[in-house]
Structure 1
Amino acid sequence: MSKILSIIIPTYNAEKFLNKGLSSFLICRNTDETTAYHNYVSAKDDRFEEIDVDMNMLDKLEIIVVNDGTPDNSVSVAQRFVNWYPGTFKIINKENGGHGSAINIGVEHVSGKYFKVVDADDWADTLALKHLINSLEHTEADAIIQSFRYYDISKNEYRPADIKVPDFNREYGLNDVLNMWDDVYDGLSFHGVLYNTAFYKSLNYSLAEHVFYEDQEYATVPFSFAETIRFVEEELYVYRVGDVNQSVSAASQVKRLPDLDKVIFKVLEAEKSFDKMPAGGKEHFIRKTSGIITSYYQIALIKNTDRKNGRSIVEAFNSRLAKESALMYDTVQRKYKVFMIFNKFHMSNKFYENQFSKILEFLKKTGDVEKLYRK
């Protein structure tokens, strides 16, 4: 049977997480809310015979574990799934090249009609996965945007990142996305996007390698070329947060700021292809790239506790940005000035992400946020 959905799982030092993620893809004949935990425990104890899998569904699913030169026992964990379900699970071994490299290699091996990337320390909602596969059989859209949810391990709680559109049963274009921006913004991310494999491969696009933050590139550049888009309300991806060792922690983000710098300037190369983007593609690209640059300012000027160093970093960044993309330099100047004020008044990142974000939400509702924060 032809594969409908391929899942690429870049894997590096994920031994203690991978079983949970891989077991979440075991769709059972009577999949419900309790199935995932049963599958997790059974797989963990190597009791796969107790998992009542729906082979008809698994035949439509492909799980590609990309071993990015991991030094731990992640491959051994994945091999147990391959042994039991060789028609669904596979392992691709490669030298370490980073998350983007693993995605690039994974795409080369994808055979599904659609594909999605799931990090090795995250997992999927099994019931939502079943529903998604069924729906993907009946669409040809270039991209799919889906709700997801966060799981905060420090608080043991879930938080939804849901999207809203007028009609989940029709296709949209990028101009529609622009008009629904605030309602779909959370889904326009690494965790929310799926790509039609034929569409993605037609772009001949390769992500930045040996760096972090290429997930921003993945959700921005290819999506800017999508002519047809579908939205899915049900939450599929479960994004694990709250771990101080994650790359999303403030200290890690400051340390890896040079990587974000590299990704931004690689993303900017897509400006050369504006004429190939469909209606709304250029504006989508500008908005998303502006957001990436805003993240750069936040890390350098707010999360970086060395405020003087942060200002020096951003001055060098802006100088290069002005030379390589006058368009984006002009677009983000108001944001830059706001963050520079925050930096000089020593606004903490905690205040920015909590209190200031609430102010922004209020200003959005009143329509005044553009005056403060957006060009």
Structure 2
Amino acid sequence: MEKTLTVGIPCYNSAAYMDHAVSSIIEGSGEAEDIQVIIVDDGSTKDNTWEKAQEWEARYPNLVKAIHQENGGHGIAVLTALNAADGVYFKVCDSDDWYDADALQSLLKTLRSFIKYDVRVDLVVTNYVYEHVEDQKESVVDYKFALRRNKVLTWSEVGRFGPSQYLLMHSLCYRVDVLRDGGVPMPPHTFYVDNIYAYVPMPRVKTLYYLDVDLYRYFIGREDQSVNESVMAGRIDQQLRITRIMIDAYHLYDDVQEPKLRNYMFNYLTMIMVICSIFSKLSEEPSARADCHALWEYFRVYDPEMYRHVRHSFLGTMTNLPTKAGEKTSLGLYRVTSKVFKFN
């Protein structure tokens, strides 16, 4: 039977929590025959992740594939799942996150209708929910007002995305061929590749659809989590590496003709450059500030017009203020934003 949706689950030493992720998809779908889960054990060394993956495959041989590979990092594990996918659509679920059952069934129903009636939809957007460890609260990120619900859209029909409404990996369900045609340049042994995944394929997306359901449950607050502030500051070199790949992907004024898509991509790239600027200031790595300055200079040389658009935007200006007082202001702006949106 043709698979409607493949969900890739990258796992690295995930034995303590991966069962919840897998079961939320298998059981949440009602063990639907047209769903596929690909568990990629990315060279786990400290626990029985691989054995658990094999157990899931043995239990559901028609629904689960278990793949073991040498450690390559999150992005390589995602690409392994993508390359093995049999579904028309592809989505990622990190091993410490999970899906809501009712929302998943709504997504499957929607995807099935597209396939049955031969409606080409390149990207389906759903909501995600921050599940905060520290206070046991939830905060939903939705796309109301930016995207009309339950309608096949082109980029010319989208609205304005708010500051908390960027399309992140958690909200994205691509057609497999959109990802495969042109590839997704995710480097090995590097965190924050989800930014590449959410940025580089976008010009290939010609049609999109917003399904207003709270599907992805994003567990946040663990001290060792990649989005923890201290962890991000310590891995600033990896964020800079990811950002350079994003810069290199396009000359936006030349390569992206649709104005609304180009503006969205500029805003996304601005957000990523702001993250680089802020976390290079927070980092204790001796070369962090110089490396971030070098990235800005690289950007200026690569495409002066793109650089001016990003660097002289409000956020680009406010997070790169000169002098010690300016730096204090920039960090204060980050603290307020972090407290309001609770993204790490």
TM range, normalised to the smaller chain?
0.7 to 0.9
Q: Which amino acid is the alignment partner of residue 318 of structure 2? A: V
Cα deviation, residue 298, structure 1: 1.6
Maintained 8 Å contact 2:42/2:70? yes
2:93 aligned with 1:118, yes or no?
Answer: yes
Q: 2: CA distance between counterparts of 1:138 and 1:23? A: 24
Maintained 8 Å contact 1:174/1:279? yes
Maintained 8 Å contact 2:7/2:38? yes
Show the counterpart of 1:244: 223
Counterparts in 2 of 1:92-241, with a 5 A limit?
Answer: 92-139=67-114, 140-165=120-145, 167-177=148-158, 179-182=159-162, 186=165, 188-241=167-220
2:328 aligned with 1:347, yes or no?
Answer: yes
Change (3 A) 1:359 1:148: closer
More helix by share: 1
SS at match of 2:319: helix
Maintained 8 Å contact 1:18/1:121? yes
Maintained 8 Å contact 1:146/1:187? no
SS at match of 2:218: strand
Cα deviation, residue 309, structure 1: 6.0
Show the counterpart of 2:38: 64
Show the counterpart of 1:333: 311
Maintained 8 Å contact 1:225/1:278? no
Q: Which amino acid is the alignment partner of residue 65 of structure 1? A: I
Maintained 8 Å contact 2:184/2:196? no
Maintained 8 Å contact 1:9/1:117? yes
Q: How many pairs are equivalent?
A: 330
Q: 2: CA distance between counterparts of 1:327 and 1:296? A: 20
Cα deviation, residue 155, structure 1: 1.7
Show the counterpart of 1:17: 17
Show the counterpart of 2:117: none
Q: Which amino acid is the alignment partner of residue 56 of structure 2? A: F
Q: 2: CA distance between counterparts of 1:352 and 1:278? A: 33
Change (3 A) 1:143 1:275: farther
Q: Which amino acid is the alignment partner of residue 145 of structure 1? A: V
Any idea what the Cα deviations from partners look like across 1:55-74, whole Å, max 9, x if unmatched? 4x2x1110001111111211
Deviating more after overlay: 269-278 vs 247-256: 269-278
Change (3 A) 1:175 1:298: farther
Any idea what the Cα deviations from partners look like across 1:205-227, whole Å, max 9, x if unmatched? 33222211110010011023211
Change (3 A) 1:150 1:357: closer
2:278 aligned with 1:298, yes or no?
Answer: yes
- Unpaired segments ≥5 residues, structure 2: 115-119
Change (3 A) 1:88 1:305: same
Q: Which amino acid is the alignment partner of residue 170 of structure 1? A: K
TM-score w.r.t. the length of structure 1 is 0.80
Q: 2: CA distance between counterparts of 1:209 and 1:358? A: 32
Maintained 8 Å contact 2:192/2:239? yes
Q: 2: CA distance between counterparts of 1:259 and 1:327? A: 25
User: Which of 266, 282, 288 in structure 1 is aligned with 2:268?
Assistant: 288
Q: 2: CA distance between counterparts of 1:244 and 1:305? A: 17
Q: 1: CA distance between counterparts of 2:182 and 2:234? A: 32
Any idea what the Cα deviations from partners look like across 1:162-186, whole Å, max 9, x if unmatched? 2214641211122333x33128x53
Q: 2: CA distance between counterparts of 1:313 and 1:129? A: 42
Q: 1: CA distance between counterparts of 2:131 and 2:337? A: 23
Any idea what the Cα deviations from partners look like across 1:296-347, whole Å, max 9, x if unmatched? 112112x3368x9654333222222212232332122233432233872353
Maintained 8 Å contact 1:17/1:121? yes
Q: 2: CA distance between counterparts of 1:357 and 1:120? A: 24
Counterparts in 2 of 1:47-58, with a 5 A limit?
Answer: 54-55=30-31, 57=32
Maintained 8 Å contact 2:240/2:292? no
Q: Which has the larger radius of gyration?
A: 1
Q: 1: CA distance between counterparts of 2:23 and 2:98? A: 9
Show the counterpart of 1:50: none
SS at match of 1:180: coil
Cα deviation, residue 277, structure 1: 4.5
